Amino acid sequence: MTPILEVRDLRVYFKTIYGDAKSVDGVSFDVYEREIFGIAGESGCGKSTLVEAALRLIKPPGYVPTGEIRFRGRDLLSMKPRELQKLRWKEVAYIPQGSMNALNPVLKVSEQLTDGILAHSDASKKEARSAALAGLHSVGMPPEVAEMYPHELSGGMSQRVAISMSTSMKPSLILADEPITALDVIMQRLNLQTIADLRDEHGITIMMVAHDMACHAEICDRICVMYGGRMMEIAETTLLFSDPLHPYTHGLLKAVPSIKRRESESIEGIAPSPLNWPSGCRFHPRCPRRMEVCVDTVPPMREVRPGRFVACHLFDTEAAEGADTVGTADAGESTDAAEKSA
């Protein structure tokens, strides 16, 4: 299967007075046609930065020292500005985090939708307005919303307007950054269903960022788990929840509320700073199954089963057998708990 999006060794750094903050630090993965690919992880792990880099939205003091992002074979990072403008919205669209801040407060919804279409296509104003109204209808918005200002919309309605903007030109790929943030559970469910319908009815590929594992479980085909600017595990959604491999994935699933447990369990410790990532495996200071090799050696991302990728020394036979393990008893308990909760 040929991927629609290929990311190779992507790094996104931000210059600070204390040195470079390495928000994304060597990420590689593929996204395939007509799939919903989820990116999960704690706040600060680099999820949103990854999406912004894919659209060339990183501004100084941010920069991309290395990496490739190929959309259908074309490298987005080396593309000329005019080429990139033609590709945005028409082939690759974006659902931003915080739609209320993404909409212009002094323009009606129809004007904003129309302006976006005119800026990225050769459509006439009449054609652009017709496409804008069709976009609103496709996400279940009534026609009168077109003549409303952003302040007249609820948070959920604003998010659906942002979704309609991303679909107005029938793109092949949509990058969605936290599309259900700050919404009540009813609007979360409606917006997730809308995103799923985009794939099912229009064949659009979607890469979705969210920290809520339940959100990923609802609609994603595959999930990539990030931690400390790197990929920890990639797997099909059902397998990730039923049989998580990486200790960090175990921890994330244990933190998801469940009717099977009286209370959820958090991962001990705090997430490290991108200004000073830990040596070796980024997760080793918090990992209940860490070994001596984890402290100094970076685990490579390896395919341990067909379609299952994990960056962990537990799946390096020589390292696992030849190194001392710290906290083995706790690790077993955490594994059992994660499997039962999945």
Q: Where residue 106 sits, what CATH number does that domain have?
A: 3.40.50.300
> Considering the domain boundaries, does residue 322 fall inside one?
yes
pLDDT of residue 8: 96
Pairing state between β 205-209 and 173-177: parallel
- Residues 250, 135 share a domain: no
Pairing label, strands 205-209, 74-75: unpaired
The mean pLDDT value for 52-57 works out to 92
Asked if residue 61 has a cis previous peptide bond (ω within 30° of 0), the answer is yes
Average pLDDT over residues 154-159: 84
| 333 pLDDT higher than 60 | no
- 8 Å CB contact between 144 and 152: no
Residues 297 and 333 in one domain: yes
Both 165 and 273 in a single domain?
no
What are the tokens at 187?
């609007």
Read off the pLDDT of residues 192-217 as tens digits, 9 standing for 90 and up: 888 899 899 889 999 999 988 988 99
Q: Which domain holds residue 311?
A: 241-341
**In angstroms, how far is the first alpha carbon of the chain from the final one?**
29
Whether 301 and 203 share a structural domain: no
Reduce the secondary structure of the chain to three states and give it as a string.
CCEEEEEEEEEEEEEECCEEEEEEEEEEEEEECCCEEEEECCCCCCHHHHHHHHCCCCCCCEEEEEEEEEECCEECCCCCHHHHHHHECCCEEEECCCHHHHCCCCCCHHHHHHHHHHHCCCCCHHHHHHHHHHHHHHCCCCHHHHHCCHHHCCHHHHHHHHHHHHHCCCCCEEEEECCCCCCCHHHHHHHHHHHHHHHHHHCCEEEEECCCHHHHHHHCCEEEEEECCEEEEEEEHHHHHHCCCCHHHHHHHHCCCCCCCCCCCCCCCCCCCCCCCCCCCCCHHHCCCCEHHHHHCCCCCEEEECCEEECCHHHCHHHHHHCCECCHHHHHHHHHHHHHHC
177 shares its domain with 285: no
Q: Flag whether 83 is in a domain.
A: yes
Measure the CA–CA gap between 136 and 118, rounded to whole angstroms.
16
The lowest-confidence range among 87-91, 121-125, 254-258, 260-264 is 260-264
Q: How many domains does the chain have?
A: 2
In terms of domains, do 74 and 116 share one? yes
Average pLDDT value for residue range 128-138: 88
Mean pLDDT of 167-194: 86
CA angle 54, 57, 61 (to 5 degrees): 120
- The average pLDDT across 76-104 equals 86
Identify the pLDDT of residue 64: 96
120 C-beta neighbours (distance < 10 Å), count: 20
Give the global pTM: 0.88
Residues 306-325 have pLDDT tens digits of: 989 999 999 986 444 544 44
Q: What pLDDT does 342 receive? A: 36
Judge if 177 and 288 occupy the same domain: no
Q: CB under 8 Å, gap of 24 or more: what pairs does 313-316 form?
A: 313/281, 314/245, 314/247, 314/289, 315/245
Amino acid, single-letter form, for residue 7: V
* Residue 71 clears pLDDT 70, i.e. is over it: yes
pLDDT of residue 65: 96
Decide which of 131 and 260 is more confident: 131
- CA 253/CA 334 separation, integer angstroms: 10
Let me know whether 129 and 205 are in one domain: yes
Nearest to 274 by CA among 100, 21, 31, 51: 21
Average pLDDT over residues 333-341: 37
| Residues 280 and 310 placed together within one structural domain of the fold | yes
Of residues 71 and 211, more confidence is placed in: 71
Length of the chain: 342
How sure is the predictor about 337, in pLDDT bands with cuts at 50, 70 and 90? very low
Residue 205 lies in a domain: yes
Query: Mean of the pLDDT values across residues 266-279?
Result: 92
Cβ atoms 46, 226 nearer than 8 A: yes
How far, in Å, CA of 312 to CA of 284, rounded?
Answer: 10
Does residue 96 fall inside a structural domain? yes
pLDDT, residue 340, reads 37
Q: Across-strand partners of 231?
A: 226
Q: How many CB atoms lie within 10 A of CB 203?
A: 11
Same domain for 271 and 196: no
Q: What is the average pLDDT across 32-43?
A: 94
